[in-house]
Amino acid sequence: MREKAIGVFDSGFGGLDIMKGIVRELPDYDFVYLGDTARMPYGTRSGKIILDFSREAVDFLFLKNCELVIFACNTASSDALHRIQVDHVPKNHNGKKVLGVLIPAAEVACRLSKNNKIGVIATSSTVSSKSFIREITKIIPEMKIYQQACPLLVPLVEAGEQNSQMAEMALRKYLEPLLAKDIDTLILGCTHYGLLESKIRKIAGRKVKIVSESRIIGAKLKDYLARHPEIETRLAKNKERTFYSTDLTDNFRKLGSRFFGEKIEVRKAELS
Ligand code: DGL
């Protein structure tokens, strides 16, 4: 039997920051990354389109010999993951697994919050799906959750402006209403926000605990694999990393290397 890889899917480059955190925890495993850069951003699209695109991404990654796929994209995790898990995978890839980033982030936030007030910053689509509210209240029903859509942040990070005055102004505008609600925990509910963490920390102050997916998903996956030896034993450990993008631009190499923290070579993916 051919050994399998771990697939990581995002709408674009941001998922590379999550993958960097996963590789830190699981350095020996083989990974296949797919960024749907030709069709990003997903964060302003309808749930139906996000589901269609996500299905195609899952088909592609399973075709590339992945045993399980991580949705690094919060927007896809919010709008498509559940339907893919209960419908698309059983029908088309029986026995395979697809996991998202929301539940791990919700679990960590619930553990950290002492005053039961959690803030969530995310794309417009993730906020309207209310998926974080659903996952958090499943764990602690009385938790108060304050959400803020931050449509300016992804374009700012993509333009390399994460350390700029503009990013600081946008962050203040988005964070102040949440801080005014006295949140003690903040979920960075979007792949790109990890790159803004130092600015967010400065604005939110030390009292607010920050849940960054790039720091937690790797450990959660490691724990999952320890509990699922039937999957773990099928995974290849040759340290091979393959990166696919639906559009090949210099930007992917440049931004991709910035998010992943090392130089990467990117291949063109054809989704159907
Ligand atoms: N990857 C998306 C997310 O985590 C952000 C970028 C986009 O809108 O496509 O929600």
Q: Which element (helix H / strand E) includes 102?
A: helix 102-112
Percent of the chain with pLDDT over 90: 92
- The 10 Å Cβ neighbour count of residue 230 is 7
> Architecture of domain 5-100+215-268 in CATH?
3-Layer(aba) Sandwich (3.40)
List the domain boundaries for the chain.
Answer: 5-100+215-268, 103-212
Indicate the pTM of the whole model. Answer: 0.95
Q: What is the residue with the minimal CA distance to atom 8 of ligand 1?
A: 43
CA–CA distance, 162 with 1 (Å, rounded to integer): 45
Q: Cα(80) to centroid of ligand 1, in Å? A: 13
Is 73 a catalytic site residue? yes
pLDDT, tens only, 65-92: 999 999 999 999 999 999 999 999 999 9
**pLDDT for 28 beyond 60:** yes
Mutate to test the pocket of ligand 1, among 73, 81, 148, 247 (most ligand atoms within 8 A of CB): 73
Tell me which amino acid residue 148 is. Answer: Q
Residue 256's pLDDT band (cuts 50, 70, 90): confident
Query: Is 1's pLDDT higher than 60?
Result: no
Give residue 74 CA to ligand 1 midpoint distance, Å.
6
Q: Is the pLDDT of residue 123 over 70?
A: yes
- Range 111-117, long-range pairs (CB < 8 A, 24+ positions): 112/184, 112/185, 112/209, 112/211, 113/143, 113/184, 113/185, 113/209, 114/184, 115/182, 115/184, 116/140, 116/142, 116/143, 116/144, 117/143, 117/144, 117/146, 117/181, 117/182, 117/183, 117/184, 117/185
Q: Long-range CB contacts (< 8 A, 24+ apart) of 258-264?
A: 258/160, 258/195, 259/13, 259/14, 259/15, 259/16, 259/17, 259/20, 259/195, 260/16, 260/17, 260/19, 260/20, 261/20, 264/16
Within this chain, domains 5-100+215-268 and 103-212 share the same CATH topology: yes
- Report helix, strand or coil for 88: helix
Q: Percent of the chain scored above 70 by pLDDT?
A: 99
Could you please state the CATH topology (level 3) that the domain comprising 103-212 is classified under: Rossmann fold (3.40.50)
Residue 269 to residue 266: CA distance in whole angstroms:
9
Residue 141 pLDDT level (bands cut at 50, 70, 90): very high
pLDDT per residue over 165-182, tens digit each?
999 999 999 999 999 999
Q: How many CB atoms lie within 10 A of CB 123?
A: 28
The answer to whether 110 is a known catalytic residue is no
